[in-house]
Amino acid sequence: MPDKISFAEGAEETALAAMLAEIIESNLENGGSRVKAFRNLRSAVHINAADAGVEITLEFKKGHLTVHAGKPLPPAISIEAESATLLELTNLKIKGGLPFFFDETGRGVVKKLLRGELKIKGLLRHPLELVRLTKVLSVA
């Protein structure tokens, strides 16, 4: 089955939804481990850009992503941060198949996690899904 990204009704008008879908689409076109991660993802991920008042849900189902506006289904993972921090997450490097936290961007993300400026629910219950998500979102 070809990898596919689609928008639920009304989601395409949400800029954050369109941006993340474009990033993921571009990563899939580039191939490699990101495609494998995309095909293995099978969770709903809620992303809330709190300062922008924009929230979306990415519903992954083994090679198919549906992007929703808002939070229409219960997510396994929930990420809340300011807009700029969400973009920092997409700049995390992947090394050895894992997110790399030892450069400036990685350290910045860890600091924000510790300070509560980046909130991730499901971090401990779904660590593998979170790694896969980081891979499909990473532009670094």
Partner 1 sequence: MAYTYGTDEWEQAYRELVERRLAETEKPYILGTPEWVDTYEKLVQEDAPYKEAAKSWEGSVVIHILARPEYGLERDIYMFMDLWHGDCRFIRLVPPEAGEKGDFILTGELERWEAVMSGELDVVKAMMQGKIKLKGHLPTIVRAVKAATRLVELAGQIGTRYISQLSEAEIESLKNLLATSGAQFGI
Number of residues that bind partner 1 (CB under 8 A): 24
DSSP β-ladder status, 64-69 and 4-7: parallel
Q: Treating both helix axes as pointing N-terminal to C-terminal, what angle do 83-90 and 127-137 enclose, rounded to 10 degrees?
A: 90
Other residues' Cβ atoms within 10 Å of the Cβ of residue 22:
11
Among 37, 44, 45, 49, binds partner 1 (CB under 8 A): 49
Cβ proximity of 61 and 42 under 8 Å? yes
Task: Choose between 76 and 87: whose C-beta lies nearer to partner 1.
Answer: 87
Task: Choose between 4 and 22: whose C-beta lies nearer to partner 1.
Answer: 22
| Residue indicated by tokens 């219960």 | 74
Among 86, 109, 118, 133, binds partner 1 (CB under 8 A): 86
Task: Choose between 14 and 78: whose C-beta lies nearer to partner 1.
Answer: 14
Query: Exposed/middle/buried for 34, CB within 10 Å: 0-12, 13-18, 19+?
Result: buried
Q: Is 140 in the site for partner 1 (CB under 8 A)?
A: yes
Q: Is 118 in the site for partner 1 (CB under 8 A)?
A: no
Considering only the stretches 1-9, 17-25, 34-42, 69-77, report the one whose residues sit in contact with partner 1 under the rule CB under 8 A.
17-25
Separation CA 69–CA 104 (nearest Å): 32
Among 7, 11, 14, 28, binds partner 1 (CB under 8 A): 14
Which residues contribute to the site for partner 1 (CB under 8 A)? 13-16, 19, 22-23, 26-27, 49, 51-54, 82-84, 86-88, 90-91, 139-140
